[in-house]
Structure 1
Amino acid sequence: MNETMQLPQLPQLRERFYRRERRSVRAAREYVRSALADWGLGEARADDVVVCVSELATNALVHGVPPGRGYRLMLWLHEGQVRVEVHDSGDGEPGVRESDGESGRGLVIVDALADRWGVGERVPGKVVWCEFDVRVVTASR
């Protein structure tokens, strides 16, 4: 009898550091879209993740990254869940706020698209994260 032992799935992690530059938001979106495609994530949910990455990266640039610094993007896939974290060194407590018409909708969008999100501590600064329940699509043989 041939028995196959199934090993636990290890989390898959991707991370990248971005400088405080406007073009870093586009670069972060492209990086995440590529990682999600590598992992076999369905297109519809991948779009939600990429939009949230764009909003969190923009918030880090506008509100969380002092001049001369940057932010770190971390992306995990583990047991049917994608987790996005944006680490920055700025203070402040991000939250859903009233929009002034020009800005202020970023976390409203994250709240609408992600299954969960929140803010964690980091010294210095903070981590803004969001999570998505996903189904990974594998190629059939």
Structure 2
Amino acid sequence: MNAEPQHPHTREAFYRRDRRSVRLARDFTRSALTDWDLASRSDDVLLCVSELATNALLHGVPPGRGFALHLALHLDDDTLRIEVHDSGPGEVGIPDAAPESEHGRGLMLVAALADKWGVGERNPGKFVWAEFSCDRGAARFLHGAVLPWPE
């Protein structure tokens, strides 16, 4: 993992093609959510990071490559955006998983939990993103921050 200091409201990390990278990506995200006081959607965000990182490892990262995780908190509308970038080919869509199947539900979970999600192209590869509306005001109140008294 290679994490570099970023602007206070963006974070990036790169992970090797290794199954332990999913846990590392989730831990990295949990740390950012704590720093940004975003407890309200943390379970949804962490599950989506796990699913997108797993999909990148299983379907998008060629041998000898890795994937990148980008987190961005947009303060103007309290939206958190996560992106998982890989260099592999392939289209991304919600599969039509059979009820008895043990695979094929990751993107269905992302679609159900995120407020918005989609896929973008990059050269080489693609990125899958998800956005979450977050109530940072409630989080600051819960963590004991001083809020201005309404007039």
- TM-score, length basis structure 1: 0.89
* Letter matched to residue 135 of structure 2: R
Residues 1:67 and 2:63 aligned together = yes
Deviation at 1:135, TM superposition (A): 1.0
User: Where do residues 46-57 of structure 1 align in structure 2 (5 Å cutoff)?
Assistant: 46-57=42-53
* Aligned with 1:18 (options 15, 19, 38): 15
- Mapped partners of 1:133, 1:140: distance in 2: 20
Question: 2:149 is matched with which residue?
Answer: none
Shift of 1:85: 0.3
Offset, 1:134: 0.4
1:85 aligns with 2:83: yes
Percent sequence identity over matched residues? 61
Runs of at least 5 residues in structure 1 that lack an aligned partner in the other structure: 1-9
- Point out which structure has higher relative CO (alpha carbons under 8 A, 6+ apart): 1
SS at match of 2:129: strand
Tell me, in whole angstroms, the C-alpha distance in 2 between the residues paired with 1:72 and 1:52: 15
Q: Does 1:140 align with 2:140?
A: no
Determine whether 1:123 maps to 2:123: yes
CA contact (8 A) 1:11 1:78 kept: no
Runs (4 or more) in structure 1 with deviation over 3 Å come to none
User: Distance in 2 between the 1:24 and 1:51 partners?
Assistant: 14
Gaps of 5+ in 2: 1-6, 147-151
Superposed displacement of residue 140, structure 1? 2.4
Matches for 1:95-106 after TM superposition, within 5 Å? 95-100=93-98, 101-106=101-106
Q: After superposition, give the CA deviation of every residue in 1:9-47 in whole Å (9 maximum; x if it has no partner).
A: x871000000000000011001101110110012x4111
One-letter code aligned to 1:13: T
Instruction: Specify the SS of the correspondent of 1:21.
Output: coil
Letter of the 1:140 counterpart: A
Q: Take 1:12 and 1:78, find their aligned partners in 2: how far apart are those partners? A: 7
